[in-house]
Amino acid sequence: MTSTRWLAEYAWLPERAAPTPEVLIETVNGRITAVTPLSPGGPPDAGVDVLADAVWLPGLTLPGLANAHSHAFHRALRGHTHGGRGDFWSWRDQMYAVTARLNPDSYLALARAVYAEMALAGITCVGEFHYLHHGAGGTPYDDPNAMSAALVEAAAHAGIRLTLLDTCYLTATVDGQPLTGSQLRFGDGDALRWADRVSAFTPDGRHARLGAAIHSVRAVPAEQLATVAGWAHRRDAPLHVHLSEQPAENDACRAVHGRTPTGLLADHGVLGPATTAVHATHPTSGDIGLLGESRSGVCLCPTTERDLADGIGPARRMAEAGIPLSLGSDSHAVIDPFEEARAVELDERLRTRKRGHFAPAELLHAASAAGHAALGWTDAGRIAVGGRADLVTVRLDSVRTAGVAPAGVWFAAGAADVTQVVVDGRVLVRDGHHLTVDVPQELADAIAEVTP
């Protein structure tokens, strides 16, 4: 039995508007067994002697943060595509060039470094929206799930949990044009063959679980959407889908199907409480109604959406409709949950020219419990008895955070302010350093390997 007592200078507990000072958090075998605020008027026996064995956590301790939308290999493009003009579609061409260099070995090395970068930022769980399944020309590897296995192993090395969202990707356009070039590696032929391949895969390790994804209405023909959704529903697995990231997708879907992408997904049984729509940058009012009524979630990826000039999603309107919001770093132009979270509020300010749309506790919820729930880990993301012992400690004495009110970290801190990360009770990051991965070196080496 491994038991630890942690004494947090501040901890952000569930349903609290702001952090609580001096909180004793007890964990046994990776679970939180007691949470005790010590002041003011803490328990009578909580004297100095009783706390002598507790691990002191200076700063603010948050629950584990969840990155609900990742394409690990996009990290290789950071800093290579940002100077010039172009748009989502030209960026995508550059992204495809990287895929040509990826195989199970090079992807393992790259993803391990990227997931370790996430750990340094306080991310204890990632949703990998995985569509790079096959070898050159679309020829399956000897193990058709070799790339999936590489990603699961990468997360184990990096020490974080992973939901592998195995992505069905069959066509190039809404009107069913076939995959060509780099895209051939994404395709399984049809949704039934996708389901057969995914069903044959069991992630190796308790840190990983399997979910499904529909790449987008561009990539899965309407009559095959229900096959993917049915696979996820039968297994009670998370189901994710890129949705309305670009107005062009809406226009094409209306032209072909006479429906918005959200409407098409609703028609084919894709929406529901286990479903997360990624982006939802350009939904109609009717789309927001469909998402809310079906209790589907939305994963916002603000740093990617601004990098790709996608636009600003109607975050507050979606929240008002009852849609749970989670966060993802998607293309990894930035891996910083603080930047992602504050962007939700700050983008809304730019659009409305008013302040105060999301309370700090709502930003925390999106970055933690809501993200974990969207990935199927409903027992994580809260510092509460019975929850997974994920603790992310943020320093309050850096040049960015000195003098900041603890609740204000969402508007002041960055990933570099994370000093310690505990995942399932195990210390993964200490003093801002990953304990098993030399993250900058491994990133540099892995990216050099796959950059054209």
* Tokens, residue 391: 């603790």
In angstroms, what is the minimal distance from the CB of 289 to Zn ion? Answer: 24
Angle between helices 104-120 and 439-450 (to 10 degrees): 150
The H or E element containing residue 79 is none
Burial class (CB in 10 A: 0-12, 13-18, 19+), 258: exposed
Closer CB to Zn ion, 330 or 348, in the complex: 330
* Tokens, residue 5: 């007592």
Active-site residue among 215, 279, 282, 434? 279
Is residue 330 a contact point for Zn ion (CB under 5 A)?
Answer: yes
In angstroms, what is the minimal distance from the CB of 90 to Zn ion? Answer: 16
Number of shown-chain residues binding Zn ion (CB under 5 A)? 1
Is residue 417 a contact point for Zn ion (CB under 5 A)?
Answer: no
Furthest CA-CA distance within the chain: 71
In angstroms, what is the minimal distance from the CB of 69 to Zn ion? Answer: 6
Stretch that binds Zn ion, among 53-61, 172-180, 287-295, 323-331 (CB under 5 A): 323-331
Stretch that binds Zn ion, among 314-322, 326-334, 335-343, 355-363 (CB under 5 A): 326-334
Say how far apart CA 170 and CA 5 lie, in whole Å: 50
* Tokens, residue 250: 């809406």
Closer CB to Zn ion, 268 or 332, in the complex: 332
Say how far apart CA 449 and CA 452 lie, in whole Å: 8
Is residue 249 a contact point for Zn ion (CB under 5 A)?
Answer: no
In angstroms, what is the minimal distance from the CB of 423 to Zn ion? Answer: 24
Phi (first) and psi of residue 112, to 5 degrees = -60, -45
Stretch that binds Zn ion, among 44-52, 86-94, 144-152, 322-330 (CB under 5 A): 322-330
In angstroms, what is the minimal distance from the CB of 22 to Zn ion? Answer: 41
> Does residue 40 have a cis bond before it (omega within 30 degrees)?
yes
Active-site residue among 188, 310, 330, 390? 330
Closer CB to Zn ion, 307 or 417, in the complex: 307
Q: Are strands 239-243 and 391-394 parallel, antiparallel or unpaired?
A: unpaired
Say how far apart CA 44 and CA 21 lie, in whole Å: 17
3-state secondary structure of 210: strand
Closer CB to Zn ion, 330 or 336, in the complex: 330
For Cα atoms 339, 111, 106, give the angle at the middle one, nearest 5 degrees.
Answer: 145
Please list every residue from 368 through 407 that binds Zn ion, using CB under 5 A: none
Stretch that binds Zn ion, among 110-118, 325-333, 401-409, 417-425 (CB under 5 A): 325-333
Closer CB to Zn ion, 340 or 424, in the complex: 340
Closer CB to Zn ion, 166 or 330, in the complex: 330
Nearest residue to Zn ion on Cβ basis? 330
Determine contact, residues 394/364, Cβ cutoff 8 Å. no
133 flagged as catalytic: no
In angstroms, what is the minimal distance from the CB of 58 to Zn ion? Answer: 36
Q: Could you tell me the CA-to-CA distances from 35 to 6, 27, 46, 227 in Å, in that order? A: 10, 9, 13, 44
Positive or negative, the CA dihedral 144, 147, 150, 151 is negative
Say how far apart CA 124 and CA 422 lie, in whole Å: 8
Stretch that binds Zn ion, among 119-127, 174-182, 324-332, 334-342 (CB under 5 A): 324-332
**Of 231, 329, 245, whose CA–CA distance to 280 is shortest?**
245
Closer CB to Zn ion, 117 or 330, in the complex: 330
Closer CB to Zn ion, 241 or 423, in the complex: 241
Stretch that binds Zn ion, among 114-122, 132-140, 329-337, 437-445 (CB under 5 A): 329-337
Closer CB to Zn ion, 249 or 330, in the complex: 330
330 flagged as catalytic: yes
* Tokens, residue 339: 């930047």
In angstroms, what is the minimal distance from the CB of 88 to Zn ion? Answer: 11
Q: Are strands 3-11 and 20-28 parallel, antiparallel or unpaired?
A: antiparallel
In angstroms, what is the minimal distance from the CB of 304 to Zn ion? Answer: 7
H helical segments located in 131-183: 146-158
Q: Side-chain half-sphere of 266: how many Cα atoms within 13 Å?
A: 16
In angstroms, what is the minimal distance from the CB of 99 to Zn ion? Answer: 14
Say how far apart CA 80 and CA 67 lie, in whole Å: 23
Give the active site residues. 279, 330
Give the binding site for Zn ion (CB under 5 A).
330
